């Protein structure tokens, strides 16, 4: 059995990468200054940041492969316009590609998108195509609120997004629904904005008929599906009140939850109420919560432990750790099969 972590971010990228971003933001303020170019980063710098963090934790915790994407909180789609977002996004994705090339056994790429409030999805379509067909990526992170906590953009079920979904369907890649930083003082990023976005996206899917229009579309809602499994009765009841089909038919053929829930009772609830086929192993590491739980003596985000300890069959564990992930990411499945895995 392979252990595939579907949710990892390059939160530890070399400083030079952030300095490029800083120069980009300075250029936004003073457009007369020279246009900055992405940082020159050596392979050794990348190795240093990966081997002391993600790769070390992979080995310590017993994962084989991480589906790896740029730091979510740094996507910053609300900063600057479409051009700024596009340049930053390409630099972030190119850096992920270098990690994958250095450690092809351990990482596979998922891309950030050059979203920008008010802009069309054309640049995102192009970047998804570039990342999948040229860089070998297997999916993307789609931000349901590119306005950064202001929620001034359109629901994920609006026709606005349809050209992007057509490209996702054509390339047969899923999207993780993932917001970036919050510029709204009401919302702490990882403590409120992330979880709210997960819950919000799920309810948008209930209200609309997106999956009638795109029956093969697949979304991963991270952080254990936000509030959804805990309120599973509420969502089943709301679907009924809104005269929608049962959730299993209406939404759950297309929506999957990861296991980024940082305590045993939460994971146990997830495994209890959600069909096992809709659950993908994920840890979000090195990520939102980096400390050790004083109640267990283990890292909060070592989510493999919770699944190992769960009272489900070995077959079900293999579905969560490997088989569901391969099914939702068919391009990963092809890569692994080509390697004989």
Active-site amino acid positions = 284
Indicate the residue among 12 and 184 with the shorter CB distance to a copy of itself.
184
Continuous H helices in 184-329: 194-207, 210-213, 232-241, 247-250, 264-273, 303-309, 314-318, 324-328
Phi, psi of 253 (to 5 degrees): -80, -15
For a copy of itself, which stretch binds (CB under 8 A), given 12-20, 115-123, 141-149, 315-323?
141-149
Q: Residue 6 is encoded by which pair of tokens?
A: 């579907």
Indicate which single residue of 31, 34, 233, 340 sits in contact with a copy of itself (rule: CB under 8 A): 233
Number of residues that bind a copy of itself (CB under 8 A): 58
Shortest Å distance, C-beta 14 to a copy of itself:
23
Q: How far is the CB of 1 from a copy of itself (least distance, A)?
A: 25
Least gap, CB of 245 to a copy of itself (angstroms)? 12
Give whichever of 145 and 322 is closer to a copy of itself, judged by the CB atom: 145
Please give the Cα distance from 77 to 304 (Å, whole number).
31
Residue 292: cis peptide before it, omega within 30 degrees of 0? no
User: In the numeric block, which tokens belong to residue 103?
Assistant: 């450690």
Contacts of 185 (CB under 8 A, 6+ apart): none
What residues numbered 235-254 form the site for a copy of itself, per CB under 8 A? 235-238, 240-241
Q: 146-184 b/e with 16+ CB inside 10 Å = b?
A: bbbbebebebbbeeebeebbebbeebebbbbbbbbbbeb
88 versus 281: smaller Cβ distance to a copy of itself? 281
Contact pick of 23, 47, 130, 231 for a copy of itself (by CB under 8 A): 231
Q: At which residue do the structure tokens 């489900």 appear?
A: 312
User: Which residues, 6+ apart, have CB-to-CB distance to 84 below 8 Å?
Assistant: 24, 28, 116
Contact flag: residue 309 with a copy of itself (CB under 8 A):
no
Min separation Cβ 215 and a copy of itself, Å = 23
Q: Which of 100, 4, 16 is nearest to 50 (CA)?
A: 100
User: Which positions from 31 through 90 interact with a copy of itself, judged by CB under 8 A?
Assistant: none
Partners of residue 280 on adjacent β-strands:
258
Residue 234 CB, nearest approach to a copy of itself (Å): 5
The answer to whether 121 contacts a copy of itself (rule: CB under 8 A) is: no
Segments in 71-193 forming alpha helices (H): 82-102, 122-129, 162-171
Interface map 274-293 toward a copy of itself (x if CB under 8 A): --------------xxxx-x
Binding residue (CB under 8 A) for a copy of itself from 162, 166, 183, 230: 230
Compute the residue count for the chain: 341
Placement of tokens 């769960």 in the chain: 310
Minimal distance, residue 320 CB to a copy of itself, in Å = 18
Window 173-212: contact mask with a copy of itself (x via CB under 8 A): -----------xxxxx-xxx--xx--xx--xx-xx-----
Place of tokens 């379509």: 125
Tell which one of 87, 145, 258, 322 touches a copy of itself (CB under 8 A): 145
From candidates 26, 122, 154, 309, binder to a copy of itself by CB under 8 A: 154
Q: Which of 159, 263, 334, 337 binds a copy of itself (CB under 8 A)?
A: 263
Q: Label residue 66 exposed, middle or buried (CB < 10 Å: 0-12, 13-18, 19+).
A: buried
Position among 55, 100, 110, 227 found at the interface with a copy of itself (CB under 8 A):
227
Cα–Cα–Cα angle for 327, 333, 339, rounded to 5 degrees: 160
**Residue 172: DSSP 8-state:** T
List of residues contacting a copy of itself (CB under 8 A)? 144-145, 149-151, 153-155, 184-188, 190-192, 195-196, 199-200, 203-204, 206-207, 223-224, 226-227, 229-238, 240-241, 261-263, 265-266, 268-269, 272-273, 288-291, 293-295, 300-301
């Amino acid at each position: 059995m392979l252990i595939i972590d579907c949710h990892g971010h390059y939160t530890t990228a070399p400083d030079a990468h952030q300095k490029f971003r800083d120069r980009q933001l300075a250029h936004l303020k003073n457009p007369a200054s020279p246009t900055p170019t992405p940082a020159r980063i050596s392979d050794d710098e990348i190795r240093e940041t990966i081997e002391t963090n993600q790769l070390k934790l992979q080995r310590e915790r017993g994962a084989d492969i991480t589906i790896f994407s740029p730091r979510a909180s740094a996507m910053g789609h609300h900063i600057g316009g479409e051009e700024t977002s596009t340049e930053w996004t390409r630099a972030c994705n190119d850096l992920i590609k270098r990690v994958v090339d250095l450690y092809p056994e351990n990482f596979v790429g998922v891309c950030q998108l050059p979203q920008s409030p008010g802009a069309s999805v054309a640049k995102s379509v192009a970047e998804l195509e570039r990342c999948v067909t040229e860089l070998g990526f297997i999916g993307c992170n789609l931000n349901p609120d590119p306005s950064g906590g202001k929620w001034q953009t359109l629901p994920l079920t609006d026709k606005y997004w349809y050209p992007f979904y057509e490209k996702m369907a054509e390339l047969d890649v899923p999207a993780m629904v993932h917001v970036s930083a919050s510029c709204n003082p009401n919302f702490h990023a990882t403590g409120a904005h992330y979880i709210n976005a997960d819950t919000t996206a799920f309810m948008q899917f209930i209200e609309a008929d997106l999956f009638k229009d795109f029956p093969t579309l697949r979304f991963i809602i991270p952080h254990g599906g936000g509030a959804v499994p805990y309120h599973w009765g509420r969502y089943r009841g709301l679907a009924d009140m809104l005269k929608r089909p049962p959730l299993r038919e209406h939404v759950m053929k297309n929506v999957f939850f990861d296991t980024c829930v940082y305590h045993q009772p939460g994971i146990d609830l997830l495994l209890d109420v959600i069909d096992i086929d809709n659950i993908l192993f994920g840890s979000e590491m090195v990520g939102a919560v980096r400390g050790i739980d004083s109640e267990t003596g283990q890292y909060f985000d070592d989510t493999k432990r919770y699944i190992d300890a769960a009272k489900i069959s070995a077959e079900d564990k293999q579905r969560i750790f490997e088989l569901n992930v391969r099914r939702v990411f068919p391009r990963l499945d092809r890569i692994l099969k080509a390697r004989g895995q």
